[in-house]
Amino acid sequence: MTPTRTSRRLADGREIIYFDDTPDSPARVVEDTRPLGSRAPSGEIRFDALVGDWVAVAGHRSNRTFLPPKDECPLCPTGTGSVPSEVPEASYDVVVFENRFPSYSPVSAHEPGEPGEPGEPGDELIRTRPALGRCEVVCFTSDHESTFADLTPERARTVIDAWADRTAELGAVPEIEQVFCFENRGQQIGVTLNHPHGQIYAYPYVPQRSAALLAQATEHHARTGRLLGADILAAERDAKDRVVIDSEHWTAYVPFAARWPVEVHLAPHRDVPDLPALDDDERDDLAAVYLDLLGRLDRYYVAKDGSAIRLPYIAGWHQAPTRVGRDVSRLHLQVMSVLRSPKKLKYLAGSESGVGGWVNDVSPEQIAARLREVAP
């Protein structure tokens, strides 16, 4: 079932979009009556000439909401807590709205032409631009105590459709160069809201890791005429010892050079550049495979009493940039965790943070074997 899509506006003008898969869902007509004032603008991005990358400067985000009590959760439906939330309706299936504290926004407080813009002395080293873009919040469910792994396949499919919808729409905005859908789960990762949710960042440039992926893919294609992502997937499927799940349309595997204590990649069997390019069968299969994978991750570690430990993780979709390199890019999901044992975190200390020299204490083959062991 294709979800019903309804776009509305919050009190400060930010967009909110409801994706409803429940039959006979109510019309989304409730107004946001909070006295919010004007929407928060983004700041600027500054060029780091040492590494050739951009950094967003967003001082207003230091005042964003931090781990509120359940009855003040801004992601629950309004009426379920003690204060009005970001979602005016009394219920929802999946909802997406513009972040109230954005790093990137269609409205920026930074104006072109300030010192440091091209044409000013030293502009090769001191460069700034407005942080034009968009940051969105994706609420997977209205159930505050739930998590993505607890969704039904039907609801997970609705989230996938929402990701694809937003990728296509944001990617069509002239200023946007990269769309990144991701989820941070667990306070060890740095989550500031416990309600099950993810985010979407629409960047006005191609971030450093995405640029590195694109450079490798471009070089490989020029040399072989083939897609790097497809060749890596074929190599992992041939090796078999790092494959975790192999379905009709998707393969989940631990990469040969995994950097994190727990890391899994999920790739489609068909060559597609991004989420909007997936067909219905691939989306249905993805919903089932992703829930299977998240369930295994939540059984990866076991407490002394035998109970499973909810794994803190970052899950991010690596998609083709919106303007360049689409012919050599290939979609894949990366799930990674900083938890290296039930009670120990991997800290990105001197080697990783200082020069990007990664050291992993667990072999990728061990990670894959454990994930196969904890299959449903």
Write out the catalytic residue numbers.
197
> What is the rounded distance in angstroms from the CA atom of residue 312 to the CA atom of residue 316?
14
Distances from the Cα of 148 to the Cα of 131, 178, 333, 372, angstroms = 30, 24, 15, 20
Residues that constitute the known binding site? 73, 76, 144, 195
Q: Give the contacts of 271 (CB within 8 A, at least 6 positions apart).
A: 227, 229, 230, 330
Q: Which of 254, 213, 216 is nearest to 235 (CA)?
A: 254
Q: E strands, 83-176, where?
A: 94-98, 128-130, 134-139
Look at the block and give the residue holding tokens 């039904």. Answer: 152
Q: Which of 240, 242, 178, 247 is nearest to 206 (CA)?
A: 178
* Token code pair at residue 207: 């971030």
Distances from the Cα of 14 to the Cα of 72, 86, 96, 367, angstroms = 20, 10, 11, 42
